């Protein structure tokens, strides 16, 4: 896809916020940061419109918690049509990291993620979605 150049006028304060965003996220330049923000905005709109998206559900959980593995597997089997793959990593004796790659309607993926993140024993959970 060809790149098109255009000028942007920003208030000094907004430009400082953009530069801070570039620095914090280590973008190579302002154009990359603006591109990222536009993509992020587009993805969030697609979530609201229930468009098809792809993403990952990331869970960190204590595998000693009663039935967490069984319950997580049961939920995943109920949503098998959304799950592309999963990866299970042992972080230490107690904690596991699970990354579940997903693709489907944003609403359905959000429901799946919410169910998994809500399981007793999950220390941290996050859903990341992007355009499919």
Query: How far, in Å, are 9, 27, 36, 37, 132 from residue 31 at the CA level?
Result: 13, 9, 9, 10, 23
Residue 95 has a pLDDT of 95
Q: Confirm whether 110 is domain-assigned.
A: yes
Give the whole-angstrom CA distance, residue 61 versus residue 69. Answer: 9
Residue in the structure block whose two tokens are 């150049």? 5
**Structurally, how many domains does the chain consist of?**
2
Q: Summarize the confidence of residues 75-84 as an average pLDDT.
A: 97
Same domain? For 42 and 56 the reply is no
Q: Model confidence over 20-48: pLDDT tens digits?
A: 988 887 878 898 888 888 877 776 776 66
CATH number at residue 87: 3.30.70.1150
Is 32 a member of any domain? yes
Give yes or no: residues 33 and 67 share one domain. Answer: no
Residue 13 vs residue 40, higher pLDDT: 13
The pLDDT value given to residue 49 = 72
State both tokens at 76: 């995943």
> So what's the pLDDT on residue 35?
84
**Domain around 66:** 51-131
Q: Do 55 and 37 share a structural domain?
A: no
Query: Per-residue pLDDT tens for 39-72?
Result: 777 767 766 677 899 999 999 999 888 799 999 9
Domain assignment of residue 7, yes or no: no
The pTM assigned to this predicted structure is 0.70
Q: Residues 1-13: what's their mean pLDDT?
A: 84
pLDDT of residue 97: 97
- Mean predicted confidence (pLDDT) in 66-87: 95
């Amino acid at each position: 896809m060809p790149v098109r150049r255009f000028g942007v006028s920003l208030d000094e304060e907004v430009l400082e916020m953009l530069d801070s965003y570039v620095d914090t996220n280590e973008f190579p330049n302002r154009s990359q940061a603006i591109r990222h923000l536009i993509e992020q905005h587009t993805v969030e709109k697609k979530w609201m419109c229930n468009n098809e998206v792809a993403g990952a559900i990331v869970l960190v959980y204590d595998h000693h918690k009663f039935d967490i593995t069984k319950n997580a597997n049961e939920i995943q089997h109920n949503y098998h049509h959304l799950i592309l793959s999963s990866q299970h990593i042992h972080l230490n004796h107690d904690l596991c990291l699970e990354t579940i790659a997903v693709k489907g309607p944003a609403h359905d993926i959000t429901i799946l993620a919410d169910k998994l993140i809500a399981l007793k024993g999950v220390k941290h959970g996050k859903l990341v979605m992007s355009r499919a």
